[in-house]
Structure 1
Amino acid sequence: MTVIEKLFLYLRKQHIYIDKKEFTFQFESHPEYPSLLAVSDTLNFFNISNGALHVDAVDFKLLPKTFFTKLQETNTDTLTLVETKQSDNQYRIYQGSKVKTVSRDSLLQKWKGIVFLIENSEETRTHSTKIKEKHILLLLSLLSFTFLLQYSFKNFAQLSFLMFPILGILLSLAASKKVFNFNNSFLNQFCNGSETRSCDTVLDSSQWKIFQKINLSDLSIAFFIAQFFMFFISEATQSLTYYFEIQKIVLLTTFPIVFLSVYYQKFSIKKWCPICVSIAGIIIIEALFVYVNYGTTFLLFDFYQFNRYVFFSLLSLLSWYVVKEQFIIRNQLKSELIQVNRFKRDYTIFKTVLTSKNAYTIPKTAISLGNANAELKLILITSPFCGYCEEPFRMLLRLLEQYKDRLCVELVYNINLEKIDVGAKLMLQNMLYIQQEFGNQKYVEALNYWYEVKDISLWLKKYKFKFDTKTIDKTLLTQRSWCVANKLTFTPCLFINEFQFPKQYSLNDLPFFIEDALEDFANNPAISRKAVNRVGTIINSI
């Protein structure tokens, strides 16, 4: 069981459900990957509270029912998921690919005093009720396929043959797991469960000259796909008898490859590929099925039928190569993107770029949300009429909610009052009046309502007041003048304290730097999340 699999098992037990693919991508993109700090920061990115801490053996009973810890195993530290069973003296531990039950005394003998906890607060607790479209499509496809088999095939013996190419396709795809970038603990255990088993060694070997050009897994995929589709084509053209006659020839020609593959694994590489052996077993069972049910003689050979089968086999191989190439390119691009993100999300590099430009003096008329005395301030140059400003504003609100008193968000309006109509100007004046008279909560509600309706007349029906606009206009003119003086002609524009957010980065990158920025600008090692998460050896690579 991989660290990601154990982590998501932990999350499910805490009733927290997030996108596994997105988490894995963000985790692998972290500059500190694969450390526990990367896990912690990625969980923070998903707004899931977590932390590492020291726990002495005397306080062991106070731990929650499920937690991560480091156990001393010989000379290595192993990240382990621990789950308390109904009996307080028994614990289920998920360590590597093994799951076992141990006593408390046995667990404490390997105890290093370090745990990693995830908080299942009401804010992060969710339920897995969403059914993805692809799952619905898959279910409908399976139902449709079942009805197709039921009404199209009356001969059960012929229909039962179909399960062999289906199993063959699944095993062949498993053999090509690297192409799909697929990692599964059960499959890894099946392929590499002992010193004499290694699918990768066998499948990646090029000792046979033929496999330098054509991989064994490629041949098996094309072989079983051709079998599968030609079965239906033959049924549609009422030529299933010829189909099984062709199988006699095709399966016979595979025997030399099957036996050579077994010989090659046994005596050349001296390692077994369980997937390859399973595929060989399916081919042998298919041959027995065909020869037992349709005889061993070749009485109904038809050159047209045979040529059609060869054509679809080659077409299957060609199609697979096209699909395989696209997956390889996709994996390469993903790998390069992860490497770029690791470099890009390095806070030291980000800070160097951030502070390389001149500092600005932010106007005192900015609208302040959050803790006005916070060391870290995020200033957004914005406009309610800017379509691109909504998402950065909502992102800042999420950060403000997550970090509460440690952060301040300020808004500066960059709007030319002379170039907007009367209704827009009235709406803007009312918006600032709400903030000044009713506070930040009402102001945020009013702004959210605007982003929801985006209709000035509708908004004014709900938020229109009578007041002296001179003070409001003065504030807006001051903010506009500051923007013009500093040549800030576009919105949205973000500042971190007095420094403009680098153009080399997207505003969406901001959440990746917040933890480090809070620590950096606060300059308080006592609350440093790196200091907390790097307790002992817990931050070593996992």
Structure 2
Amino acid sequence: MKDSLSYLVNQLLINNNISLDKKELAFQIQSHPSYPSLHAVTGVLDHFNVDNLALDVPDTEDTLKQLPKVFLAQILHKNQSKEFAIVNNKGPYYQITTSKSKKQKLSASEFLDMFTGVMVAVEKTDLVEEKNNSAKVIKNSLIIVSSLIVLSLFFSAKPSLIYILIFISSILGLFISVALKKQEQGIQNIIGNAFCSGESEKKDCNAVLTSKGANIFNLYKLSDLCLIFFSGLSLSMLFTSTLNISASFTFALILLSVPITLYSIYYQAVILKKWCLLCMSVVAILWIQSALIVFNVDTITSASWSISVVLVNSLGFLLALTLWHLLANNLDEFQGLKKVKIDLFKFKRNFNIFNSLLQSSKTIDTTIYNASEIVFGNADSSLNIVIVTSPFCGHCKPVHSVIEDILKKHSDRVAISIRFNANTDYPENNLVKIASRLIEIYNTNGEAVCLRAMHSIYQGQQTDAWLDEFGNCNNIALFFEELKKEQEWCTNNNLNFTPVILINGKTYPKEYDRADLIYFIEALYEENTISTEELKLTT
């Protein structure tokens, strides 16, 4: 199955009581430039503020006893292939999980024979921003309520036993059809993993689903037909039962599907010589339904075959077919766009490309002598980012959110200088009042209070309310002069608009969104630290 790494990382987090958005986690891992390496895992964990540690430890029993109960490990198979696995210390044994359906129990010595020593451990901290489950709760509630309504409608008509069995088996077939579609698209799912994991010479679901025989008239894939057929069956059984109309036409269609299942078995056994257990489960359901009908053949022979009966029976299949044609292209396009998005982010997050554009951009001298400006983070860092901003600039608000995110994750690695481009010719201007007061708060109350004050004004707090909460500038002469220095620096460097981002004097590449900056902080810090060390060695 594709992207088992995302599944393993999610399981590592769950086992350490850390709950993140599964889809966002998978996207961040798959779009990381070094995916599927260990660096992609640690980089994404850092992105989510998950405290993590990647180590290469000795593969000894003493070391094993000191490791966390659950961790991500690299294991080596007998064929010399390597893969990641979740290791769970169960006491008497170690449970090794390499995918949703691949779990095995090993003794300590058996695990050590496979363990390369490379591992990742995580720990929950207060900085982790866990997912909001409200959307999932609403979605699940809607599904449950809808299902209960459908079941109530069906059973309120007091259907016969054969109707109940055909309806329930059709719903089961629909679930398996969805699993077939996901398997075909390489999406992890419980049913697909249960039936299709552990591919062998004889068993290979993907080979069957992607074969020529699974493409019907170059219009429908096998998974598509299964979805349409079982959706139609379920709807037709619901309509006929609710309206107290014979399902004879629907039963006849089930019997007509038997020859198709025989061809499917022949194709897998003789032509492909490979089996898809998911496909065979569909065959099994159709055979069970056919057997039920044959043993109750009077349900067809004695039933009415009027035009109204045929139309009601056909309605479910026509609705399923229509919906499929309306949604199929959108679903395929959605899957294609997901891949394009992942590839685009992987390209955009490639540091070499970003750095090449950064180094080719204009250089500006960021020095302001005897400055008392706002500097967040580590003032001694070799990585200095200057932000020219304004609380009343609409484009500056999202940049401030980026600043807050960077400080949460990398406050020890970066110095972020805040400069205001305020017209000091008008001292009573609200921008001048707020900017000078922010500089004063930083110099008198510290970084944390200043950051909170900036957060309030950048999140849209009204000026009067902000001034009531944080007050006016007390030492106007000193901090108005500081604001004037910043304005003069902006004027001298032709920085007339906000926001402006400068990274060690280099203007931020216009090809990138400003929100992308956070992805490059670690690499920028490492590069600038190396450059600084090399400069020290040569002097």
Give the TM-score taking structure 2 as reference length: 0.88
* 1:371 aligned residue (371, 374, 378): 378
State the Cα distance separating 1:509 from its structure 2 match. Answer: 0.7
Summarize the Cα distance change of 1:22–1:299 in structure 2 as closer, same or farther, 3 Å threshold. closer
- Alignment correspondent of 1:531: none
Cα shift readout 1:309-356 (whole Å, capped 9, x = no counterpart): 446534422421331211111111221222222221111111110010
Cα shift readout 1:217-250 (whole Å, capped 9, x = no counterpart): 22222222222222233344432x2x2x213422
* 2:148 aligned residue (102, 118, 143): 143
Summarize the Cα distance change of 1:308–1:146 in structure 2 as closer, same or farther, 3 Å threshold. closer
- Alignment correspondent of 2:187: 182
- Alignment correspondent of 1:69: 73
* 1:250 aligned residue (244, 253, 278): 253
Which amino acid in 2 is paired with 1:350? F
Q: Does 1:263 align with 2:266?
A: yes
Conserved 8 A contact 1:15-1:125: no
Summarize the Cα distance change of 1:524–1:501 in structure 2 as closer, same or farther, 3 Å threshold. closer
Q: Distance in 1 between matches of 2:493 and 2:116?
A: 55
Q: Distance in 1 between matches of 2:315 and 2:113?
A: 65
- Alignment correspondent of 2:536: none
Summarize the Cα distance change of 1:181–1:84 in structure 2 as closer, same or farther, 3 Å threshold. closer
- Alignment correspondent of 2:11: 9
Q: Does 1:112 align with 2:116?
A: yes
Conserved 8 A contact 1:414-1:479: yes
- What's the secondary structure of 2:412's corresponding residue? helix
- Alignment correspondent of 2:23: 21
Aligned-residue RMSD, C-alpha: 2.7
Which amino acid in 1 is paired with 2:284? G
- Alignment correspondent of 1:99: 103
Q: Distance in 2 between matches of 1:224 and 1:461?
A: 65
Summarize the Cα distance change of 1:504–1:81 in structure 2 as closer, same or farther, 3 Å threshold. same
State the Cα distance separating 1:99 from its structure 2 match. Answer: 2.1
State the Cα distance separating 1:304 from its structure 2 match. Answer: 4.1
**Structure 1 stretches of 5 or more lacking a match?**
527-542
* 1:217 aligned residue (198, 210, 223): 223
- What's the secondary structure of 1:52's corresponding residue? strand
Q: How does 1:253-292 map to 2 (within 5 A)?
A: 253-292=256-295
Which amino acid in 1 is paired with 2:55? L
Q: Distance in 2 between matches of 1:299 and 1:137?
A: 37
Instruction: Name which structure has the greater RCO, CA cutoff 8 Å, separation 6+.
Output: 1
State the Cα distance separating 1:131 from its structure 2 match. Answer: 6.0
* 2:451 aligned residue (424, 432, 444): 444
Conserved 8 A contact 2:391-2:431: no
Summarize the Cα distance change of 1:151–1:247 in structure 2 as closer, same or farther, 3 Å threshold. closer
Cα shift readout 1:237-267 (whole Å, capped 9, x = no counterpart): 432x2x2x21342223222212222222222
State the Cα distance separating 1:367 from its structure 2 match. Answer: 1.7
Summarize the Cα distance change of 1:186–1:523 in structure 2 as closer, same or farther, 3 Å threshold. farther
Q: Distance in 1 between matches of 2:217 and 2:496?
A: 61
Query: After alignment, is 435-444 or 148-157 more displaced?
Result: 148-157
- Alignment correspondent of 1:534: none
Q: Distance in 1 between matches of 2:214 and 2:503?
A: 60
Which amino acid in 1 is paired with 2:158? F
Q: How does 1:89-488 map to 2 (within 5 A)?
A: 90-95=93-98, 97-124=101-128, 130=134, 132=136, 133-153=138-158, 155-177=160-182, 182-184=187-189, 187-193=192-198, 194-207=200-213, 210-239=216-245, 241=246, 243=247, 245-295=248-298, 297=301, 300-307=304-311, 309-310=313-314, 312-364=316-368, 365=371, 366-418=373-425, 422-452=429-459, 454-465=461-472, 467-488=474-495
Q: Distance in 1 between matches of 2:39 and 2:72?
A: 13
Q: Distance in 1 between matches of 2:50 and 2:501?
A: 25
Give the TM-score taking structure 1 as reference length: 0.88
Conserved 8 A contact 1:248-1:291: no
Q: Distance in 2 between matches of 1:115 and 1:209?
A: 43
Q: Distance in 1 between matches of 2:311 and 2:449?
A: 76
Which amino acid in 2 is paired with 1:183? Q
Summarize the Cα distance change of 1:435–1:272 in structure 2 as closer, same or farther, 3 Å threshold. same
Q: Distance in 2 between matches of 1:361 and 1:208?
A: 64
- Alignment correspondent of 1:537: none
Q: Distance in 1 between matches of 2:177 and 2:474?
A: 74
Conserved 8 A contact 2:18-2:130: yes
Which amino acid in 1 is paired with 2:331? F
State the Cα distance separating 1:307 from its structure 2 match. Answer: 4.5
Summarize the Cα distance change of 1:181–1:418 in structure 2 as closer, same or farther, 3 Å threshold. farther
Conserved 8 A contact 1:424-1:456: no
Conserved 8 A contact 2:233-2:316: no
Summarize the Cα distance change of 1:226–1:110 in structure 2 as closer, same or farther, 3 Å threshold. closer
Conserved 8 A contact 1:376-1:407: yes
Which amino acid in 2 is paired with 1:485? N
Q: Distance in 1 between matches of 2:223 and 2:473?
A: 76
- What's the secondary structure of 1:483's corresponding residue? helix
Conserved 8 A contact 1:179-1:327: no
Cα shift readout 1:274-319 (whole Å, capped 9, x = no counterpart): 2222222222222222333351526522234324544653442242
- Alignment correspondent of 2:537: none
Q: Distance in 1 between matches of 2:393 and 2:109?
A: 63
Query: After alignment, is 67-76 or 509-518 more displaced?
Result: 67-76
State the Cα distance separating 1:127 from its structure 2 match. Answer: 8.6
Summarize the Cα distance change of 1:422–1:149 in structure 2 as closer, same or farther, 3 Å threshold. same
Conserved 8 A contact 1:181-1:331: no
State the Cα distance separating 1:422 from its structure 2 match. Answer: 4.2
Cα shift readout 1:450-506 (whole Å, capped 9, x = no counterpart): 345611222222222563422322222222232233232322221111111111000
Q: Distance in 2 between matches of 1:439 and 1:368?
A: 10
State the Cα distance separating 1:449 from its structure 2 match. Answer: 3.0
Query: After alignment, is 90-99 or 246-255 more displaced?
Result: 90-99
Which amino acid in 2 is paired with 1:169? L
Q: How many residues align?
A: 521
Q: Does 1:519 align with 2:526?
A: yes
Conserved 8 A contact 2:183-2:206: no
Runs of 4+ in structure 1 off by over 6 angstroms are none
Conserved 8 A contact 1:519-1:525: no
Conserved 8 A contact 2:389-2:421: yes
